[in-house]
C-alpha cells in the first residue's frame, strides 16, 4: 500500500527531475566513513564474494546490496552505511561477483536473481553472533533483496527484522523496455560500456564460452541478456530470466516488514514496478512512491549530509526494531 511518508520528500525545485536526480549523486556526492575491513568469502562453486565490514561492536547487523554495475563503496551505499553506523548498527556491504574491482573466477558473473549469493552472505553475517539483522538493497540489489525474502517465505531467519529496497526494478521485463527507449540511451550506453569491459576480460579466460565479437551491435538489455546473462546462468533466454528473477511475483510471500521505495519519476521503472494491489504486495510489503527521487536519487541538502532515503530507512527501523 502507499504511505503518506512519501509525501514528506520535497527536494529543491531545481532537483525535481527524475533524470537529474538519477545522475546527481554519482557526479557530486561524497560520503566519508572509516575504511572498512575487507573479507573474501569463498563460494561452493570455487568462486568468491568480496565483503566490506563496518564494525563497531553492535549486536545488530545491516546487510546492503548495491545496484547493477555498482559496488560496496558507491555513494548511495556509503550514505546509508554512515546513517546506520550513527544509530549503532554494524554494516556489511557486499559486492556481487565481478564487482568491486575484482573479476570473479567462474564464467558466470551476477544477475538479478542470484539469491544463492545473498543467502550465503546473510548466513555468514548472522554466524558472527548478531541477534538482529536488517537487509537493504538499491536497484538490482533491491530486487535481489525482495526476491530472496520472498523465496525464504516462512523459513526466513527470525533474526531478520525487515528490509528497505530502493528504486526496485521488480518487473525486469518492463524495466528493460524502459531502458530501451531512445530517451534512456545515455543510461543504456553507460551500462553497456562497463559491461563490455567485463565481457572482454571474461572472453579471454573462457574463449569457448564467451564471444565478444560484434559486441558493439548490442543496444539493449534484451540483446545483452539473451546473449550473455541467460546462457551463462542457466536461463532459456532473456524473457525466461526476467520472468524467473523479477521480485514482483514473490512479494506476497515475504514474511517480514519490507518497504519498497520507488520514485514516481524514476526513468528506469515500468508501471508494474508500482504495484498497489494487496494480492501482489501481500501483508508485509509496503510501497512508497515519492513524486520525486529519480533512480537511486532522493537527494536532500541537509546540514548532516543525509539524503531523504537514509532518513526514511532510519524511521522505518524505529518502527520494526
pLDDT tens string, the chain, 321 residues long: the values are 344 577 789 998 999 999 999 999 999 999 999 999 999 999 999 999 999 999 999 999 999 999 999 999 999 999 999 999 999 999 999 999 999 999 999 999 999 999 999 999 999 999 999 999 999 999 999 999 999 999 999 999 999 999 999 999 999 999 999 999 999 999 999 999 999 999 999 999 999 999 999 999 999 999 999 999 999 999 999 999 999 999 999 999 999 999 999 999 999 999 999 999 999 999 999 999 999 999 999 999 888 999 999 999 999 999 998
Task: State the cell numbers at 71.
Answer: 559496488
* Contact in structure between 45 and 107 (CB atoms under 8 Å): no
* Contact in structure between 245 and 233 (CB atoms under 8 Å): no
Nearest to 19 by CA among 300, 292, 222, 306: 292
Backbone angles phi, psi at 185, to 5 degrees: -60, -35
Task: State the cell numbers at 169.
Answer: 526494478
* Contact in structure between 230 and 239 (CB atoms under 8 Å): no
Pairing relationship of beta strands 160-166 and 132-138 according to DSSP bridges: parallel
Amino acid at each position: 500500500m502507499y504511505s503518506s511518508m512519501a509525501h514528506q520528500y520535497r527536494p529543491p525545485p531545481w532537483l525535481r527531475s527524475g533524470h537529474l536526480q538519477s545522475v546527481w549523486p554519482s557526479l557530486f556526492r561524497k560520503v566519508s566513513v572509516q575504511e572498512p575491513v575487507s573479507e573474501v568469502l569463498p563460494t561452493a562453486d570455487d568462486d568468491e564474494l568480496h565483503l566490506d565490514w563496518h564494525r563497531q561492536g553492535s549486536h545488530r547487523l545491516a546487510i546492503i546490496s548495491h545496484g547493477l554495475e555498482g559496488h560496496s563503496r558507491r555513494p548511495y551505499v556509503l550514505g546509508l552505511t554512515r546513517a546506520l553506523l550513527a544509530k549503532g548498527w554494524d554494516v556489511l556491504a557486499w559486492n556481487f561477483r565481478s564487482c568491486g574491482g575484482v573479476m570473479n573466477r567462474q564464467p558466470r558473473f551476477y544477475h538479478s536473481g542470484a539469491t544463492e549469493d545473498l543467502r550465503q552472505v546473510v548466513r555468514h553475517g548472522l554466524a558472527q553472533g548478531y541477534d538482529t539483522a536488517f537487509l537493504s538493497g538499491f536497484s538490482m540489489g533491491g530486487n535481489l533483496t525482495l526476491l530472496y525474502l520472498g523465496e525464504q517465505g516462512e523459513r526466513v531467519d527470525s533474526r531478520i527484522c525487515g528490509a528497505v529496497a530502493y528504486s526496485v526494478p521488480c518487473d525486469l521485463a518492463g524495466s528493460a523496455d524502459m531502458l530501451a527507449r531512445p530517451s534512456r540511451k545515455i543510461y543504456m550506453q553507460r551500462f553497456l560500456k562497463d559491461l563490455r569491459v567485463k565481457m572482454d576480460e571474461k572472453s579471454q579466460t573462457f574463449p569457448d564460452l564467451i564471444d565478444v565479437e560484434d559486441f558493439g551491435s548490442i543496444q539493449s538489455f534484451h540483446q545483452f541478456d539473451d546473449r550473455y546473462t541467460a546462457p551463462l546462468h542457466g536461463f532459456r533466454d532473456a524473457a525466461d530470466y526476467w520472468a524467473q528473477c523479477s521480485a514482483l511475483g514473490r512479494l506476497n510471500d515475504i514474511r517480514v516488514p519490507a518497504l519498497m521505495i520507488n520514485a514516481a519519476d524514476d526513468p528506469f521503472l515500468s508501471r508494474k514496478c508500482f504495484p498497489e494491489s494487496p494480492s501482489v504486495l501481500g501483508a508485509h510489503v509496503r510501497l512508497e512512491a515519492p513524486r520525486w527521487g529519480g533512480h537511486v536519487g532522493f537527494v536532500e541538502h541537509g546540514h548532516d549530509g543525509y539524503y531523504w532515503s537514509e532518513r526514511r530507512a532510519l524511521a522505518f527501523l524505529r518502527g520494526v526494531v
